[in-house]
Each structure stands twice: as structure tokens, then as C-alpha cells.
Structure 1
Amino acid sequence: MADKRDYYEVLGVDKTADEKTIKKAYRKLARKYHPDVCDMPDAEDKFKEVSEAYAVLSDEDKRQRYDQFGHAGMDGFSAEDFYQNVNFEDIFQGFDIGNIFDMFGFGGGSRSRGGSSGPQRGSDIYTEIPITLEEAFNGCEKEIKITRSELCPTCKGSKSKPGSNPETCTKCGGTGQIKEVSNTFLGQMVNVRPCRECGGTGKIITDPCDVCHGRGSVRKTKTIKIEIPSGVDEGNHLRVSHEGNCGEKEGLEGDLIVTVHIKKHKKFTREGDHLYLEQQISFPQAALGDLITIPTIDGKKMEFKITPGTQCETVYKLKGQGMKSVRYNNRGNLYVKIKVVVPKKLNSKQKELLNEFAEVSGDEIKHVEKGLFDRVKDAMK
């Protein structure tokens, strides 16, 4: 997933593009890269890329997931899940769409859109969690509440009231699919779609369960603990297996996808594994040098040497004092930017010493005469 291009970039549209604009962009690119007309070596890969982008952005639910979670939001979708809402016949009039279905693994010249009679994996669910920068550094355990679909405890997912059995659908004969044959100039095209009568299950629920009302599942809220690894960064996704919605017909549960958000820190800013700190010092400290104490992300104080003659905006690098890395057994750096603070008010002794310093340094200080407003202000004091 990490290597995939942004879907909006693939189609060359803005994130605010409407359905019509997205379809128009896809039609143009898909016809350009269709293997029947394009002899580029990577035509099939290009065609698959634009088709996947369109399949996601043309579906309201998938597009919403993608906008919020990026490619991680598409985890768990099969090829059929991606393309089940794409009407290839409408877009590729005059092309052999059987080749398209072969490319996406649908097989032959038939188009199957559901009606699976075997176990089906449950869908993933998504949530977000805020943590502090210190928690991201050390790693932590968090409790979160999630609401998901679980198998109905009464009917065990059968959807029927205990003691009753569903009837075989007479429309599809229990297959869950309806085959439609159409004649084209290319020959016969077989289109397979889910049976509308039974919803692709092959069964008709005549006596639905009183608890789940024939859905086979119920919504439940639960609290779970999740481990946040040290070094986790803003926007990282954590996957918790089998904590998503329940599957159909004894299928596995989906997963829980947790997006991490890191709260703004009062002192440190972060870029990757590196940390940045602004440290204020006085003019004498900058000129003479000093040994000061600075904070670190692990909560300890660290002695830090200011070199004599340090200029404002000077940046010191402290190796290995940044964030821990999720992937590697090392730490980033801490970069300390120096801010020399000039006092706004001076007493007479300070002024005398600074004037003496300027005289010794050969600097001619031209004192600014106070204006009327300043003199009135001083008199009021």
C-alpha cells in the first residue's frame, strides 16, 4: 500500500471533484491504457491503476474511507469488493470487457458481483486515538471504546428464529446469482449479478430472529486495550486483528484500524525521528559561554555547553537525543536553536556597564532622545 500513488493524482482530479468529473477523467485514461488499443509495455499496470482509483473514488463509502485514512482504509477489500460497483459496460462500449474481468481475476467473459455462498470476512472498523509526544517516545497502553457488529447470540448468525429454517430462494434456485445473457457484435456476453430477491444469499428468511431482526448480527460496544509502540508518528495506522465487524457464515472478523494523532508539545517540535527545541539565553551567556540545563524528551535534564560567542539562531545538534525509531534500534537527533534575549528594561548599573563595554569595543552609541510622550510617561511614574 505504501508504494501506491494518491488516487486523485492517478486520475488527475482535485479532491473536491464531483462524480461526473471523476468518471470523465477515468473514461479518458482507461480508454488510453486499455490493452486493446495501447501497446505500451506497462499498459496493463496503468490500466489497473486508474481502474482501482476510479473504483474507490466513484464509491461514496470507499471514497470517504480513503479521504480519512488513505490507502490503509482500503485494507481488507478484495478485487471483487473494489470493482463491484463499476459499470464497465457503460464505460467500455465497443471493447471486449471479458479481458477486463480476466485482468481483475473475475474469470472468463462472465461478470460476477456477489452471491458468494461461502464464509465472508467481516469489514474493518476505524477509530482515532490522541497521545502525547512522551507517550509516543516511550510507547504506552491505551484503552479505547469501539462499537462493532457481533454475531447474534440468539440465532448465531443464521438470521432465523431458533427452531425455524430459511427457505431456498425460488428466483435463483439457491445459487444467490442470476445470469443474464446479452448478444453483442462480439458474441454473447454473460453477466452474473446477485439475486435481488434473496440479496445473493440463496435463502429467504421467513421467520426472522427476534433479537437481530434477521440481520444475523447485533451492535455492541466494548472496551479494548491496544499497545502503542515507541516511536509511533502522527498519522500512523495500527492494526488490531479480529476486532472489526463479524463475518458472514462463520467468516473471520475484520480488523480494527487505529489512526494515531500526537498532541502539540509545549517545548519540542518533531520531524520524523528528530526533535527541535528553542532555547533562550542572555547576551552575557552568548558572549561568554555557559553551562546550562535543557529538557529532553525522556524527562531527564541534560547539561548543555554554550560556546563563547554563540550567535542568535545558532543550531546545535545533540546526536541520539531525539525520538526512538519504530523500524530501527536507534534514536533521532535533538536540534537546539539558540535565541539570544535582549532585555527590554535596564537599570542604571546595567546601562553603565554596557556603555563601558561599548566604549572598550570601539562602538559609538548614539542615545535616542525621548519624545514628549515618553517624558510624560516618565513623569506620571
Structure 2
Amino acid sequence: MGADYYGILGVSKDADESQLKKAYRKLALKYHPDKNSAKEAQKKFHDISEAYEVLSDKDKRAIYDQYGEEGLKGGGPPPPGAGGFGGGGGFGGFPGGGGGGPSYTFSTGGGGAGGFRPTDAEDIFKQFFASFGGGGGGGMPGMGADEEDDMGGGGGFGGRGGMPGGMGGMGGMPGGGRRARPAQHRPEPEKPPALERTLAVSLEDLAKGVTKRLKVTRKVTNPASGRTSDKILTIDVKPGWKAGTKIRFPREGDEYPNGAIQDIVFTLEEKPHPVFTRKGDDLVMTLELTLLEALTGGFSKVVKTLDGRSLPVSASSSKITQPGQEERFPGEGMPISKKPGQKGDLIVKFDVKFPTTLTAAQKAELKKILS
């Protein structure tokens, strides 16, 4: 029967896809030549990969289960549904054989499209860190899986049924004919989690917009370029951006051995301001008043805006200001990023400061006034 693929992977003949994957992953990590310098590691790794490539493909596995390794490499018949043969034709390797079915080639050469390269990190480590792709005709990256349909010179097997043996052949028999290669399915490496960083920006910069240039150092897997590389990333912060805004740079993070590259994501963070607090598109500030100012009015104060202008805040002498009272100044808040040219409001909250002590005379006078 040739190679015992089930024995090589250490699984039973009824092993399902997940069991095959688990067994392959464990053995591949153990015997990969980059991790195992023993002389027999490369051959062992090739055998493991070949076994998984066959058993993970339902068509190849069906042929192997019935005819063994020679059925795959020597022209065994295709599984049911792969094409019918007529009366006179036989199967390759059997008496009267007119031809064979699919032919699969495995090699350790580093060249052609069918070659399996056990030291190619891009191909091999995809299996360590990537989700396992494949399916019916896919197979593993870097492994050749050529389906041959060679038609003999004097005739051959077609959709109408078989011609008498000797008239033509399939699967490695002499003759002209055509060669059909199924498309190789190379699964994409599993995308690693993004590298998260914060970008602290002042309210002044968020009010007018600013350009930030950030130097990032990323890990690389190419020995020729060293272990790390530096790059300057530019972020144009737009007026009105809010805390929590995310800026993503695809494939600018660390490189992984399986060929995948991280994204870098910067999350905007507002620096605390000594005067203003942001609330959506509005700015909120607190303005202190003495009890006298709150009760008698007639005060006039100046507030410096984020862009450096002077904004007067006042109350007439007939107005009493309550503790916690607010005054709103439309259009003096933050720019609204989705509505160019528009701004939120400035909300001024009044904090009335009460005296901590009063003399007996002051209290008597207040009683007289307020009673």
C-alpha cells in the first residue's frame, strides 16, 4: 500500500478534518527544518506535509483509502463522480488498462509550481499561524497537485464512455492530449491583531486642526534589512475630531513569520485643559463670582477662547445670578467635523463663592436687608 499517511500523522482512518489539522500542526512545529536541525527532520517534515495534503482533500483521500499511495502516484481511478469510463476501457495499473485518473506530484525541489519547499517560511509558517484553508481541490501552499488528463493519439476516453483498451490512455499514458491544472488555493495568513497606540492632542489643536508626524519602529522578518525598521507616519488631525477617533495604518506594524503584517491603529485622546472641558461639540467652563457679584450684578469679566480671542461675560446690576446658573454663547464651542464651518456652543457655569465667616454686625445687617 506504500506510505501509511494515517500512521505518519498518528490519526485513525476515520479522523475528521479538525483532528487532521491538530495532528499536522503539532508534528509540523516539531519537525520543521528551521526548528529541528536533526538530519531526518527534513524528510520527516516532507512526509508529514504530504500525508496532510492527501488526507485533507476528500478526493485524494478517497483514492488513497481504496488504492493506497500507488493509486495516487501511479494512476489509480478517480472517485465516483469524477468521470465515467465505457465498456472496453480499464484503469491504469489493472489488466486491459487504458489509462489512469488524477496524478499528484510531490517534490522537495525549490523550483516549479508543483514543488514543495520545506524551508520556505512564507509557505510553511502560514500553516502554523494561519487558519487552514483548502477544501476540495486546494491543498497546502507550495505543494504540487497536478491533475492530468492525457488523451492518446488514436482515441481516448471522453464523456461518451470508454474506447477499447490500447486506443488511448489517461493519467500518464503516452499520447498527445491536454493537461488541466486545478487552481492552487493559497489561504491568506490569519490577520494578527492590530498594534494599538494612543495619540494625545490638545483642545487647541483639535479646534484648529494639526498635522502629527510619528516615528514608529516595527519588527521585520527579512534578515537582509535587519530586525527592525523605522518609519514616519503622518496623521492630519481634522478640526473637531473627538476623543476615541481611530486612525488605521494598514500593514505598517510588525511582520510575522507567516508573512502577515499588523495594522497600526492610533486612538485619539484629548489632553486635559486647565479651563475648558469638552462635552460633545460644546465647551464647558466655570466662572467664579463673589456673593456680592451674584446678588448685585453689575460685573463684567473676560474669558479667553481657545483661539485666543477675548469674550466678555457680564450681568446687569438688576440681575441676580444663582449658584450653578449657566449662560450659553452660541458658536463659541468646538468645530463640528461633519458640518464644516459650524461650531458648538460655549457654556459658562457660574460658581458663587460664599464667605466663610461673618461678623455679628454683618449678620445683623444682612438680616435687616433680607428680612
For the criterion TM > 0.5, the same-fold answer is no
TM-score normalised by the shorter chain: which range applies? 0.3 to 0.5
TM-score (normalised: structure 2): 0.43
Name the structure with the higher strand share.
1
TM-score (normalised: structure 1): 0.42
With a CA cutoff of 8 Å and minimum separation of 6, indicate the structure with the bigger relative contact order.
1
